[in-house]
Amino acid sequence: MELHQLEYFVAVAEEGGFTRAAARLRIAQPGVSAQVRKLERELGQPLLDRSGRAVTLTAAGRAVLPYARAALGAVDAARQVMDELTGLTRGRVAIGTVTSHAVDLAGILAAFNAKHPAVEITLVEDASERLVDAVREGRLDAAIVAYARTPDGLGVHVVTDEPIDAAVWLGHELATRDTIPLTALRDRPLICLPRGGGIRAILDAACAEAGFTPRVAFEAGSLAVLEQLAAHHLGVAILPASIARNRAHLHPLRIARPELRGRLGLAWRLAGPISPAASAWLTHARHHL
């Protein structure tokens, strides 16, 4: 069994056919077919069903595929380790982030790219829940997420830890108060992040514990949009205290009984191998954060 046979098999499985796999690998199609058949003879089982219009995996193929991917991944990681030992850090880093935060992520990425120009960096934006799942499953190397409790299986470098406030326009009836119990928000139109965001998840959980569902009038993925909607008399915004208490056009109210707190952090997977490029990124990002 040879590594290139595993590589060809994985390519055919992912592309659904020999022709597309050959194009991806940039080799002749008969060569791909011959090597996969040789692999099947060595294993004693057909890995691919060639009877239909598309090539599909047999039961044996489905069983072998994750091990083939793991073997190729291990070889790639070994090569990256050797590169790092010789001072040539390469590879790829996949990073995720929630949409709204005060972290200068662009600046951190630019500084990392200047130090490691051979490392390919990809960045995606998504809700915290999906980012946590992606990091846990290894689809992302790290992500900036909002959270209430440290997610299982992940390490987290805390960036911010602060109360979650309500905020209203200056002429609102609540603008004479400094605090508000959570239950007083029961029937008021709220302006907050969409479901899946850390602050929204904390709000929903607290309201459920208090016996009601929040009346969300407006959702937006940008904290700046939330504060603008509140300033235009459209409801009560739910915001991090650092924003609610630093906007001249808004009056902040500390949510009490219970106090709500939100955290923003850089999360990474604790179990499983980590590439040298991802390790370099984590060291760099934690230093700058």
Instruction: Indicate the pTM of the whole model.
Output: 0.61
Query: Residue for token digits 């924003």?
Result: 243
| Closest among 263, 262, 281, 240 to 135, alpha carbons compared | 281
List b or e across 160-185, with b for residues whose CB sees 16 or more CB atoms inside 10 angstroms: beebbbbbbbeebebeeeeebebebb
How confident is the model at residue 191, as a pLDDT? 96
Contact 203, 214 (CB under 8 A): yes
Query: Could you say which of 3.40.50.300, 3.40.50.720, 2.60.120.10, 3.40.190.290 is the CATH number of the domain covering 159-263?
Result: 3.40.190.290
How confident is the model at residue 1, as a pLDDT? 80
- CATH 1.10.10.10 domain range(s) in the chain: 3-76
How confident is the model at residue 221, as a pLDDT? 81
Residue 229: exposed, middle, or buried by beta-carbon count in 10 A (0-12, 13-18, 19+)?
Answer: buried
**CATH top class, domain 3-76:** mainly alpha
Residue 131: exposed, middle, or buried by beta-carbon count in 10 A (0-12, 13-18, 19+)?
Answer: buried
**How far apart, in Å, are the Cα atoms of 222 and each of 2, 91, 238, 264?**
50, 32, 12, 15
How confident is the model at residue 165, as a pLDDT? 94
CA torsion sign for 94, 99, 105, 109 is: positive
- CATH 3.40.190.290 domain range(s) in the chain: 159-263
Strand pairing class (120-125; 142-147): unpaired
Q: What is the mean pLDDT of each run of 10 residues along the chain (289 residues)?
A: 89 90 88 91 92 88 91 81 62 86 84 88 89 91 87 90 93 94 95 82 90 94 90 94 90 92 90 82 89
Query: Residue for token digits 């595929």?
Result: 65
How confident is the model at residue 85, as a pLDDT? 62
